Structure 1
């Protein structure tokens, strides 16, 4: 039997972190998505054990200051796209406000470290979310385009094809065939 699972990545990450922090008896406060503050002084040995433990779940502790900012940018974007934040300002303004930094600084740093732009990263996240929504077959492409704030279905379709190499309808046909085989 095959099951199609839907994940709320924020809830999953928070639950894993909470479980592992409690298992290591670490008192903490979550200050933002992907960011916690340890409330007590912790030995390096205990921290190393915790780091190794959460690494098994694909969670890494970021130590490089530039990479910390990059991870925060990615977290805000993923949260914005996958949790369907209704943002009434430009993405650049939203990122600057959320991270309390100048957008030019964020944009330049992101490009320097990741070799791609923030805009391209947003497109990639939107296309990934589009694939998830198309797989569920609950929404039409028009509804998905509207949900993800695209100006038109054609715009979403172009970005989808440029990113994946196939059209959204071809993607849907492939998924439908795979479901028939299984």
Structure 2
């Protein structure tokens, strides 16, 4: 049997972090998505142990200020595109307000560190969510386009094809065939 899961990444991540850090006995708070604040100084060997445990989970502890801000940009974008209701604000305004830096600075830093643009990262995140929504098969393409704040289904389809090489309809057909094949076996 196959089960399709939908994650609330911030909630899921917070629970995992809390569960994994609790045995260390240090007081901490999960300040935001991808950010932890320890309420006491950690001995260096414990810090290394925590860093190693997090690395084993696929979580990188960032210490370079530029990388930290780029990760905050990524987390904010994921939060923005994962929002249940479409936001009626431009992504540049959203990032500026959330991160308290000018969009020009955020955009330049992001490009410098990741070798891609903020806009491209947003598109990739939207297409990943679109794929999950198509797989879940609960929304029409029109509803998916609205949910992801696209101006039209055609705009979503164009970006989907540019990112994946196939149209959303073709992706849906492939997923449906795979589901049917799994059910028949």
TM-score by length of 1: 0.96
Counterparts of 2:40 and 2:110, CA distance in 1: 32
Where in structure 1 do 4 or more consecutive aligned residues deviate above 3 Å? none
Instruction: Please state how far the C-alpha of 1:41 moved relative to its aligned partner.
Output: 1.0
Mapped partners of 1:95, 1:178: distance in 2 = 38
Normalising by structure 2, report the TM-score: 0.95
* Alpha-carbon separation, structure 2, partners of 1:143 and 1:25: 46
Contact 1:135 1:172 in 2 (8 A): yes
Note if 1:171 corresponds to 2:171.
Answer: yes
The alignment covers a number of residue pairs equal to 182
Q: What do the CA deviations read for 1:115-146 (whole angstroms, capped 9, x no partner)?
A: 11100000000000000000000000000001
**1:77–1:122: 8 Å Cα contact kept in structure 2?**
yes
Matches within 5 A, 1:98-137: 98-137=98-137
Q: 2:18 aligns to what?
A: 18
The farther-off stretch of 66-75 and 81-90 is: 81-90
Shift of 1:43: 0.5
Q: Take 2:3 and 2:133, find their aligned partners in 1: how far apart are those partners?
A: 16
1:77 counterpart SS class: helix
Shift of 1:85: 5.3
Question: 1:3: which partner in 2?
Answer: 3
Using the TM superposition, give the Cα deviation of residue 87 of structure 1 relative to its aligned residue in structure 2, in angstroms: 2.7
Q: What is the match of residue 154 of structure 1?
A: 154
User: Structure 1 pair 97/159, CA: closer, same or farther in 2 (3 Å)?
Assistant: same
* Runs of 5+ consecutive residues of structure 1 not aligned to the other structure: none
**Is the Cα contact below 8 Å between 1:79 and 1:85 reproduced in 2?**
no
For the residue of structure 2 that corresponds to 1:66, the secondary structure is helix
Residue 2 of structure 1: SS of its match in structure 2? coil
Gaps in structure 2 of 5+ consecutive residues = none
Partners of 1:143 and 1:37 lie apart in 2 by 39
CA contact (8 A) 1:84 1:148 kept: no
